[in-house]
Amino acid sequence: MQPQPTQEVPLSVPRRQFDVEDYIDVLRRHRSWILAPTFAGLVLGVIVAYLWPDSYRASGMIRIVPPKVPSQLVPTNLTEAMTQKVAGIHQTIVSRPILTNVIQTYNLYPDERKRRPMEDVIEQMRAAIGVGQLRGLGRGMSSGSAFSVTFSYSDKRLATQVCSDIITRFVDESTSSRSQQTMTTTQFFREQLDAAKTELEDLDRRMAMFRSRNVGQLPEQEQGLFNRLTALESSVQSINSSMSRVNQEKLQLETNIRMLRDQAMARASQGGSGQLGPGGQRQATSAEARLAEINREIARLENSISVMKETYTETHPDVRRVASFLEMKKREQAQASAEAQAAVLEANAAQQGRAGAGSAAAPAGPRMDFETASAIARVQSALQAKDMELEDMARRLRDTQAKIREANAQIQASPVAQQEYIQLVRQRTMAQDRFNDLSGKTQMSAMATEVESRQQGETLEILEQPVMPTEPFSPKREIIVIAGLIVGIGIGVGMASAREIKDSSLKNLKDVRAYTKLTVLGSIPLLENDFVVRRRRRLGWLAWAAALLLGVLLMTGSVVYYYTSRA
Q: Could you please state the CATH topology (level 3) that the domain comprising 219-351+364-427 is classified under.
A: Helix Hairpins (1.10.287)
Give the Cα separation of 532 and 538 in Å (integer): 10
DSSP bridge partners of 464: 61
Task: Tell me if the bond preceding 10 is cis, omega within 30° of 0.
Answer: no
pLDDT, residue 356, reads 41
Identify which of 274, 290, 490, 249 has the alpha carbon closest to the alpha carbon of residue 384. 249
Output the pTM of the full model.
0.52
pLDDT, residue 525, reads 67
pLDDT, residue 441, reads 86
CA angle 344, 347, 352 (to 5 degrees): 125
Give the Cα separation of 22 and 500 in Å (integer): 11
Is the sign of the CA dihedral 79, 81, 84, 86 positive or negative?
positive
Residue ranges of the chain whose pLDDT lies below 50: 1-3, 5-10, 140-142, 272-277, 352-368
- Answer for the pair 351, 273: CB distance below 8 angstroms, yes or no: yes
- Answer for the pair 274, 351: CB distance below 8 angstroms, yes or no: yes
pLDDT, residue 96, reads 92
pLDDT, residue 219, reads 55
> In the chain, where are the structural domains located?
20-51+475-566, 219-351+364-427
